[in-house]
Amino acid sequence: MSESERSLNFLEHIIEEDLKNGFQKEALRFRFPPEPNGYLHIGHASSICLNFGLGLRYDAPVNLRFDDTNPAKEEQEYVDAIKRDVEWLGYEWDTERYASDYFQQLYDWAIFLIKEGKAYVDSQTSEEMAAQKGTPTEPGTESPFRNRTVNENLELFEGMKAGKFEEGKHVLRAKIDMKSSNMLMRDPIMYRVLHKAHHRTNTDWCIYPMYDWTHGESDYIEQVSHSLCTLEFAMHRELYDWFLDQVVDSNKVRPKQREFARRNLSHTVVSKRKLLRLVEQGVVNGWDDPRMPTISGLRRRGYTPEAIRGFADTIGIAKRDNLIDVSLLEFQVRDHLNKVAPRVMAVLDPLKVVITNYPEGEEEWLEAENNPSDASAGSRMVPFSKELYIEKADFKEEANRKFFRLKLGGEVRLKNGYIIKAESCTKDADGNIIEVQCSYDTKSKSGSGTEESLRKVKGTLHWVSIEHAIEAEVRLYDRLFTDESPDTHKDKDFMEFINPDSLEIITGYLEPSLKDAKVEDRFQFQRLGYFCVDPDSSSEKLVFNRTVGLRDSWAKIQQKD
């Protein structure tokens, strides 16, 4: 489905409606507003694809705005990671903005509100204020400081800014309505004192604006026309509008907040705060651990930007929060890698095969297609010799007729090579099979044009020549959580559902063409799945991550249970 063919989502309908009602297309402007308090995750990808997708659809600028109003949690490292991830996903922002760029303007507007009698300094403790909030059905109580004079408010607020007060001593509140049915309208806090250095403004400020006060005004400063956020902000819209009402100039674009559903992914958590716990407690090896649902984790796992964008497009935009099965994301990456990943042979659980009638010391190089469904992908040469590895699971001494792999007396074709027949096998003292002796049909070489080369046998196995194989570390991943929705249990913390077997490290034996593989190169290990080169690789040792298996084995296991 092409971008222009799919039906419009409800946010696009809102925009179309606005355009019909005379809003100028040239004035459309969007933003993606992450707080730099962690790495972006797959949930953010939905918001990125939505906002940047609208930019592309309407040929409108999209800003990348860092919502950096809480110095206690924000860091430059996160800013850098977020920029890298958005770029990697394939999007270009118009300008890079920071809410902290607007601290002075926000402060000036706060002074204006004080002078208008619409903001005041409250000197109660947070407990006292909380006690006055009321409930959704009972009105709140007005603060004893609510009617301070403008001069007193100005003096105290300037004192807050000048660093005269410790944290928690005073806050600036908007003077709205303690009886409002919307609790957020009951004199919300606009500023608090925080004696913390900020990653950009350093110690210039020791008062910091709250999210609600900052977000809409930042949208207005940037002249964002449609400010799209997730549903938890629906109740905040009234406050967003109230704050805008105080400063908006009727000749300018007045931003419009609209909400869409958060996207949750099964078997994981999508919340920076929770992901941070996994990092801090060492459950994973950092934000870009391939088990993490972060953009950088998925990237390291071998996901492509196309797969992530395809996922976001497929699930679309919704009005209700819901849980998306991770198998849908896996389907997307499998689908894309199937088109673009070169095929190679690797054996991950080796069993030695000796071709008894193959000359000792001889080797030959066989041509192998890189992608059977894409001739332009070309071909490579793979070495064949007397001693090979196949997968343990591909051999049984005896098996029924449905076992199309190798069994004693049976034949299989070695991919791109010869037909072999298992003659005998050797076992160790415990009865484990450690070697299979085979004969090969000397005229059956694939592509050689002989009658035997065209002979059909039921099974085709992947293999590697032992002498030529390169050893690599291979990291096999499983779900990070055993529960579908680990953070929705009332009586249990999500950390209780960590899958203890989410990572298995093994040694794999790869065909030698892989020796020059570069970090992030992606391959299909034939019959096994998709794998990519991990940044931990060195010139001595390659490290591969399994991105995803060829089929949805998880769904099968679940059905069996």
Q: Which residues bind ligand ATP (CB under 6 A)?
A: 33-35, 43-44, 46-47, 67, 229-230, 262-263, 270-273
Residue nearest to ligand ATP (CB): 43
35, 364, 369, 484: which is the annotated catalytic residue? 35
Q: Using CB atoms within 10 A of its CB, is residue 231 exposed (0-12), middle (13-18) or buried (19+)?
A: middle
Q: Is 115 a catalytic residue?
A: no
The region of 27-35, 331-339, 401-409, 539-547 touching Mg ion under the rule CB under 5 A is: 27-35
In angstroms, give the least distance from the CB of 35 to ligand ATP.
Answer: 4
Kindly name the residue from 65, 272, 413, 522 that is annotated as catalytic.
Answer: 272
Task: Between 52 and 389, name the residue whose CB sits nearer to ligand ATP.
Answer: 52
Compute the least distance from the CB of residue 51 to ligand ATP, in Å: 8
DSSP element (H, E) containing 229: strand 226-230
Per-residue exposure over 363-379, b if at least 16 CB sit within 10 Å of its own CB, e if not = eeebebbbbeeeeebee
Query: Within 13 Å, how many C-alpha atoms sit on residue 297's CB side?
Result: 24
- In the residue annotation, 262 being an active-site residue is answered as yes
* Distance of alpha carbon 87 from alpha carbon 481, whole angstroms: 29
Tell the smallest beta-carbon distance from residue 71 to ligand ATP (Å): 15
Residue 330, contacted partner among Mg ion, ligand ATP, none, CB below 5-8 A by kind: none
Distance between CA atoms of residues 16 and 27, nearest Å: 13
List the structure tokens of 284: 């994973």
Write down the least CB distance from residue 230 to ligand ATP, Å: 3
Q: Taking the complex as a whole, how short is the minimal distance between the CB of residue 506 and Mg ion, in angstroms?
A: 39
Binding-site partner at residue 263 among ligand ATP, Mg ion, none, CB < 5 to 8 Å by type = ligand ATP
CA distance linking residue 193 with residue 209, whole number of Å: 9
* Partner from ligand ATP, Mg ion, none binding residue 350, C-beta < 5-8 Å depending on class: none
Nearer to ligand ATP, 262 or 334 (CB): 262
Q: Residue 514: which of Mg ion, ligand ATP, none does it interact with, CB under 5 to 8 A by kind?
A: none
**R_g (Cα) of the chain, nearest Å:** 31
Count of alpha carbons within 13 Å of 9, Cβ hemisphere only? 21
Q: How far is the CB of 44 from ligand ATP (least distance, A)?
A: 5
Judged by beta carbon distances under 5 to 8 A according to partner kind, the member of Mg ion, ligand ATP, none in contact with residue 370 is none
Taking contact as CB under 5 A, which single stretch among the options 20-28, 32-40, 424-432, 511-519 is the one that binds Mg ion?
Answer: 32-40
- Could you say which of ligand ATP, Mg ion, none residue 47 binds, taking C-beta under 5 to 8 angstroms by partner kind? ligand ATP
| Residue 485 contact among ligand ATP, Mg ion, none, beta carbon within 5 to 8 Å by kind | none
The residue among 442, 507, 453 whose CA lies nearest residue 476 is: 507
- Tell which residue, 438, 418, 414, has the closest CA to residue 426: 438
| Residue 35: active-site member | yes
Q: Which is nearer to Mg ion, 35 or 521 (CB)?
A: 35
Residue among 230 and 437 whose Cβ is closer to Mg ion: 230
For ligand ATP, the closer of residues 260 and 418 by Cβ is: 260
Q: Does residue 35 touch Mg ion according to CB under 5 A?
A: yes
**Contact partners, residue 87, CB within 8 Å, separation at least 6:** none
User: How far apart, in whole angstroms, are the C-alpha atoms of residue 425 and residue 432?
Assistant: 10
Q: Which is nearer to Mg ion, 35 or 349 (CB)?
A: 35
Decide the pairing of beta strands 419-427 and 411-414.
antiparallel
Q: Cβ closer to Mg ion: 31 or 336?
A: 31
From 30-38, 144-152, 364-372, 397-405, give the range in contact with Mg ion by CB under 5 A: 30-38
* CA gap 374, 327 in Å, rounded: 26
Q: How would you write 118-171 as a 3-class SS string?
A: CEEEECCCHHHHHHCCCCCCCCCCCCCCCCCCHHHHHHHHHHHHCCCCCCCCCE
Residue in the structure block whose two tokens are 């077997």: 501
Q: Residue 522: which residues within 8 A CB-CB, separation 6 or more?
A: 302, 304, 337, 340, 341, 530, 531, 532, 533, 547
Select from Mg ion, ligand ATP, none the partner in contact with residue 33, using the beta carbon and a kind-dependent cut-off of 5 to 8 Å.
Answer: ligand ATP
**Distance between CA 72 and CA 50 in Å, rounded?**
29
Residue owning tokens 């991943």: 477
Q: How far is the CB of 269 from ligand ATP (least distance, A)?
A: 9
Catalytic residue among 161, 192, 237, 262: 262
Contacting positions for Mg ion (CB under 5 A): 35
Catalytic residues, by residue number, are 35, 262, 272
